[in-house]
Amino acid sequence: MAKINFGGVEETVVTRDEFSLDKAREALKNELVAVIGYGVQGPAQALNMKDNGINVIVGQAPEFKTDWDRAVNDGWVPGKTLFPVEEAAGKGTVVQYLVSDSAQRILWPKLKACLNEGDALYFSHGFSITYNDQTGVIPPSNVDVILCAPKGSGTSVRRNFLAGTGINSSYAIFQDYTGRAEERTIALGIAIGSGYLFPTSFESEVYSDLTGERGVLMGALAGIMDAQYQVLRQNGHSPSEAFNETVEELTQSLIRLVDENGMDWMYANCSATAQRGALDWRPKFKEATLPVFNELYEKVRSGEECKRVLESTSSDNYRDMLEIELRELRESELWSTGKKVRQLRPEKK
């Protein structure tokens, strides 16, 4: 494990140099990993482990035909490497619980009954354990309870793996029954294709993750885009110009420079006009949004956001209401313009 100083704080990270794929294979050679749920993270993690030579099976409810058929199309064989959830969970020595947070609460009594002494119960999100007073997900005392959370969508986990780069992940140990929980967790993190891993706790992972999703990563980003687009349109700018200045330049140019070299480098390598304006307005946006982020974090920490998620996703008409919200977003002028702009991009050769 490497010690790295981040902004004056020394942290421990695990890279493939310290914990190689060969070491991960050795640590997992007697394990059978059962990936439960073939929805968002399940396909990427299962396929990456399979490609890395780990013994993997998939557990998916056959009645959810879209996900079952997707697993079959990806090469998982019913009765050999693809099973109904409870059958797969009973076979696995590592049970990767990768169904949605709301589904974890519903499925938990059946899954818990499938766990055997010494198994590892694996999560990619700290939600169900951290908020177990609301989810009821309380593991038995005779299993390891571990977490490896890739910092990206399942699509990114698979795409980065195939590109040979990997994606960074956090890892945590909630319960170490066997004495091997940390080794198991790091080995699994390497096996699913992590570029490097950094330690956290279940609680810290879910607090940071929920704040990030509702904040910069999705909620705040979309809200700021809506606001800027609206101001430009109200002041006579065309839809395409407003979209290009709000979204296209960010996603196709600037954010890539930030990714490669950092925000300071991007500022240093843009025009003096853009540079001066960005530096002047940055503190104004921070001041305006800091109260919102403080409110958001407190609602995450208190469990209020958990309650909201569980109540809304368990309602009978949730999918219908979700489609209405997504359709409103999709058909808004901003994102319908975006669809047309994307179609004008040159095809990749």
- What are the tens digits of pLDDT across the range 52-101? 999 999 999 999 999 999 999 999 999 999 999 999 999 999 999 999 99
Q: CA 271, 276, 282, 284: dihedral to nearest 10 degrees?
A: -140
The confidence score (pLDDT) of residue 225 equals 97
Say yes or no to pLDDT of 2 above 90.
no
What average pLDDT is seen over the chain? Answer: 94
Do the domains spanning 2-201 and 212-343 agree at the CATH topology level? no
By residue count, the chain amounts to 349
Say yes or no to pLDDT of 349 above 80.
no
Residue in the block written with tokens 């999705």: 218
Q: Tally Cβ neighbours within 10 Å of residue 174.
A: 18
Q: Which SS3 state, helix, strand or coil, does residue 260 take?
A: helix
- Non-local (6+) Cβ contacts of 97 within 8 A are 36, 37, 104, 111, 121, 122, 123, 128
Phi first, then psi, for residue 167 (nearest 5°) are -135, 140
Q: Kindly list the distances between the CA atom of residue 268 and the CA atoms of 63, 273, 279, in Å, as whole numbers in the listed order.
A: 55, 11, 11
As given in the structure block, the two tokens for residue 347 are 């095809």
Identify which of 30, 82, 323, 10 has the alpha carbon closest to the alpha carbon of residue 187. 30
Instruction: Say what percent of the chain tops pLDDT 70.
Output: 99
Domain ranges of the chain: 2-201, 212-343
The answer regarding whether domain 212-343 maps to CATH 1.10.1040.10 reads: yes
Asked whether the beta carbons of 203 and 308 are under 8 A apart, the reply is no
**Is 125 one of the annotated active-site residues of the chain?**
yes
Model pLDDT for residues 150-184, shown as the tens digit of each residue: 998 899 999 999 998 888 999 999 999 999 999 99
Class of domain 2-201: alpha beta
Q: Tally Cβ neighbours within 10 Å of residue 252.
A: 13
Mean pLDDT for the stretch of residues 34-57: 96
Phi first, then psi, for residue 343 (nearest 5°) are -70, -20
Task: Write down the pTM of the prediction.
Answer: 0.91
Mean pLDDT for the stretch of residues 10-29: 92
Q: Kindly list the distances between the CA atom of residue 283 and the CA atoms of 31, 194, 229, 287, 288, in Å, as whole numbers in the listed order.
A: 51, 34, 21, 6, 8
CA distance 194 to 41: 13
Output Rg (C-alpha) for the chain, integer angstroms.
22
Of 50, 125, 158, 214, the active-site residue reads 125
pLDDT range class, residue 3, cuts 50, 70, 90:
confident
CA distance 232 to 249: 15
- Non-local (6+) Cβ contacts of 8 within 8 A are none
